[in-house]
Amino acid sequence: MFEPLKLGNRVEMVFKSRSGDDDTVEYASQILDFTDEGIMCAMPIYEGHIVPLEKGKRFEGYFYSDNKIYRAMCSVVSRGKEEKVHVAEIKLDSALVRIQRREYYRLSCIMPASLRTVTDIKEGLDEIQDLILNEDNYKCTIVDISGGGIRAFSKRQLEKNELVYVKFTLNFNSGDKETDVLAKVVDSQKNSKDETMFDSRLQFINISEADREEIVKYVFEQQRNMLKKELGYNG
């Protein structure tokens, strides 16, 4: 009934905020057990405090299993305590639907950014210790982004395999996050709709897991925002 979910899978619970606007509140949990009717999850902990989920409360559930992500509308059936662990039983109000792996899901956007070309690398690509950057900044606009790279429009054509440092701001619901990552130019061609601009694809390289997670978290958050109307989620 609950395949492909497994014990220990991470669960992300996304609730509509009490303010009545489009803001959401997100909590992380974990699957502890399965019942005939539902799923036993650990009660979320936020800022060091247990979050007592309300019986009957509905939320969007995102389940992480075997490097795949599944989504379903859920509701809280009951809550309690088992072997000194605070738990909540949830049920699926809709079928589990697999969504694209966040790292490769490309989010369309309009995001100002700046580029600086790398003129030298002291320690090689495998373990970059120091980068020598060109002093000139080039403005560009990111038009789609994923955990693996970006597509950007700029007035300057980039050279294939050129290394650049990309700096941009991720506008999370909770606030802005400045991000800068190293990328390699995969392709750079004239924009078919505007010959004064160049359309470039860049792949992130040597990106830390923390930075990648920030990016995919942003992509996932924006995807959820866009899916709200589609899901008909009213809290």
In this predicted model, what pLDDT tens digit does every residue of 124-143 receive, in sequence order? 444 444 555 556 788 999 99
Residues 44 and 63 in one domain: yes
If one compares 140 and 28, the residue with the highest pLDDT of the two is 140
Say whether both 124 and 213 belong to one domain: yes
Where is pLDDT greater, at 155 or 83? 155
Q: Same domain for 81 and 148?
A: no
User: Taking the alpha carbons of 191, 194, 196, 202 in that order, is the dihedral positive or negative?
Assistant: negative
Are residues 44 and 121 both part of a single domain?
no
The span from the CA of 111 to the CA of 218, in Å, is: 12
The number of angstroms, rounded, from the C-alpha of 67 to the middle of its chain's C-alpha atoms is 14
Determine, yes or no, domain membership for 1.
Answer: no
pLDDT given at position 124:
47
Mean pLDDT for the chain? Answer: 84
Given phi > 0 = left and psi -120 to 50 = alpha, else beta, which region is 220?
Answer: alpha
59 domain residue, yes or no: yes
| Per-residue confidence (pLDDT) for residue 101, from 0 to 100 | 59
Nearest to 57 by CA among 22, 84, 18: 18
Kindly state the average pLDDT of the residues 228-233.
50
What's the rounded Cα separation, in Å, for the pair 57 and 54?
A: 6
- The alpha carbon of 9 is separated from its chain's Cα centroid by a whole number of angstroms, namely 18
Residues 121 and 215 grouped into a single domain: yes
What are the pLDDT digits (tens) for 11-27? Answer: 989 887 665 545 678 88
Q: Is 47 in the same domain as 122?
A: no
Query: What is the mean predicted confidence (pLDDT) over 107-121?
Result: 85
pLDDT of residue 224: 72
Q: Which of 57, 81, 99 delimits the end of a domain?
A: 99
Residues 6+ apart with CB under 8 A from 223: 99, 105, 107
Indicate whether 194 belongs to any domain. yes
pLDDT of residue 95: 92
Whether 182 is covered by a domain: the verdict is yes
pLDDT at residue 57 greater than cutoff 90: yes
In a domain, 4, yes or no: no
Q: Do both 216 and 136 map to the same domain?
A: yes
pTM: 0.57
Instruction: Give per-residue pLDDT as tens, 147-204.
Output: 889 999 999 999 999 999 999 999 998 899 999 999 999 999 999 889 899 999 999 9
Cα 83 to chain centroid, rounded: 34
- 93's CB contacts (< 8 A; 6+ apart) are 58, 72, 73, 74, 75
What is the number of domains present in the chain?
A: 2
Place of tokens 């790279």: 149
Residue 124 and residue 92 share a domain = no
Which residue range is the domain that position 189 belongs to? 107-222
CATH of the domain at 217: 2.40.10.220
Could you tell me the pLDDT band of residue 227, with boundaries at 50, 70 and 90? low
